[in-house]
């Protein structure tokens, strides 16, 4: 492969620059091993952009991101900027980026590597050999964006979805399922909500385009239970903005370590935004102890979903798994009661994954 792919890189604040540097090492190794060519453009956003330009998302940053094939982001934010008014806070950069990129689907893999099973609050027999499912959450519609208001007696919020909004996020989920175990579960509250009944109708229609994918439905309250009772049953879960917000946070807890969880926001434009789900962890910034694996796994998602490099993505994931198998751990995922774990720093972890590719 010699087609050059453009990657905009936003290191951000706190641990952001450290963890992004490790993902870059791994991507460089992907180029070396698989013959890919990446052109990186480093751009500021978040607190570091506020310090330099007075705003969290400079126009140039957004323009470079929109014109790239993918955006890799570390994390933004920190105490230094906490007293700024809402519109000027670092986190605004994320909203601006998602909007600018037209990202209407948020993808969050929930993976428990069998080597990290002890970090999960779930019982060993529930985890088995580990599990791996993917949340696809609708990101720009539903009750968070619907009509809301108050009258003299109370207040209301509206869950509204157009057929088009439902179709496009479903397609993201069905396409993802084709790269996984070919099972889609639409999570809703169709026994009560009319909008959920529309989701089911649309899902049934969209599924005709994907005869190779098995479609099922589940009520959201049951899904909340099943995530802790039998998480291995899931492959791809597709759901609304609010249900996805709540369930994906529940699911991130069952994995046991915030330093391991990747995410992607993708949509109408060609560019996806890839970032770990954790924040800028100011408490450990600059100490070379942050776990870079969530960012490295986000880079793997970028290879898979934006750059169409499935083999390379799977190899990065395998490399992470191998390093864990060898007992190497950053502090946050290490078990102090075992001698099997060798605790290493952020930078060494990046080297180990790159070397193991």
281 touches ligand NAD (CB under 6 A) = yes
332 touches ligand NAD (CB under 6 A) = yes
Q: In angstroms, what is the minimal distance from the CB of 220 to ligand NAD? A: 24
CA 347 to chain centre: 22
Q: In angstroms, what is the minimal distance from the CB of 18 to ligand NAD? A: 9
Q: What is the dihedral of CA 83, 71, 179, 164, to 10 degrees?
A: 70
Q: What angle do CA 220, 224, 230 make, to 5 degrees?
A: 120
Tokens of 58: 């400079």
Among 249, 283, 310, 335, binds ligand NAD (CB under 6 A): 283
Q: Number of C-alpha atoms within 13 angstroms, CB side, residue 244?
A: 27
Strands (E), the chain: 4-12, 37-42, 70-75, 103-112, 131-138, 148-150, 155-157, 183-188, 214-219, 236-239, 262-267, 272-276, 328-329, 342-343
Helix axes 293-305, 346-356, angle to 10 degrees: 40
Among residues 27 and 184, whose Cβ is nearest to ligand NAD? Answer: 27
Q: In angstroms, what is the minimal distance from the CB of 189 to ligand NAD? A: 28
Q: In angstroms, what is the minimal distance from the CB of 300 to ligand NAD? A: 16
Among 173, 259, 272, 350, binds ligand NAD (CB under 6 A): 259
Residue 168, class by beta-carbon neighbours within 10 Å (0-12 exposed, 13-18 middle, 19+ buried)? middle
284 touches ligand NAD (CB under 6 A) = yes
Among 10, 27, 43, 75, binds ligand NAD (CB under 6 A): 75
Among residues 18 and 69, whose Cβ is nearest to ligand NAD? Answer: 18
Provide the annotated active-site residues: 144, 189, 221, 245, 249
Nearest to 142 by CA among 21, 238, 44: 238
Among 61, 115, 280, 315, binds ligand NAD (CB under 6 A): 280
Q: Which stretch binds ligand NAD (CB under 6 A): 107-115, 119-127, 234-242, 290-298?
A: 290-298
Residue numbers at the binding site for ligand NAD (CB under 6 A): 15, 75-78, 91, 94, 258-259, 275, 278-284, 290-291, 294, 332
């Amino acid at each position: 492969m010699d087609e050059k792919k453009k990657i905009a890189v936003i290191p951000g604040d706190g641990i952001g620059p450290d963890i992004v540097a490790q993902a870059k090492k791994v991507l460089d190794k992907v180029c070396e091993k698989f013959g890919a060519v990446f052109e990186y453009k480093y751009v500021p956003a978040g607190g570091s952009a506020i310090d330099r330009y007075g705003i969290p998302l400079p126009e140039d940053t957004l323009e470079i991101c929109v014109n790239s094939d993918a955006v890799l982001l570390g994390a933004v934010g920190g105490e230094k900027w906490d007293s700024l008014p809402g519109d000027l806070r670092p986190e605004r950069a994320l909203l601006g980026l998602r909007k600018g990129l037209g990202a209407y689907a948020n993808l969050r893999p929930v993976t428990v590597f069998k080597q990290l099973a002890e970090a999960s609050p779930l019982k060993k027999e529930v985890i088995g050999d580990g599990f791996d499912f993917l949340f696809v959450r609708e990101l720009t519609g539903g009750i968070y964006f619907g009509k809301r208001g108050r009258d003299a007696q109370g207040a209301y919020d509206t869950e509204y979805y157009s057929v088009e909004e439902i179709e496009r996020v479903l397609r993201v989920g069905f396409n993802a399922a084709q790269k996984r175990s070919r099972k889609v579960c639409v999570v809703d509250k169709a026994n009560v909500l009319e909008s959920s009944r529309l989701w089911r109708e649309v899902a049934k229609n969209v599924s005709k385009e994907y005869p190779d994918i098995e479609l099922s439905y589940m009520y959201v309250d049951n899904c909340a239970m099943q995530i802790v009772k039998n998480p291995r049953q899931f492959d791809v879960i597709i759901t609304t903005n609010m249900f996805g917000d709540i369930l994906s946070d529940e699911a991130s807890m069952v994995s046991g370590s915030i330093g391991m969880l990747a995410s992607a926001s993708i949509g109408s434009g060609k560019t996806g935004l890839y970032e770990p789900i954790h924040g800028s962890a100011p408490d450990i910034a600059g100490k070379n102890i942050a776990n870079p694996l969530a960012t490295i796994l986000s880079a793997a998602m970028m290879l898979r979903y934006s750059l169409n490099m499935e083999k390379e993505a799977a190899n990065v994931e395998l490399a992470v798994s191998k390093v864990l198998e060898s007992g190497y751990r950053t502090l946050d995922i290490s078990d102090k009661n075992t001698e099997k774990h060798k605790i290493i720093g952020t930078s060494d972890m990046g080297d180990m994954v790159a070397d193991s590719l």
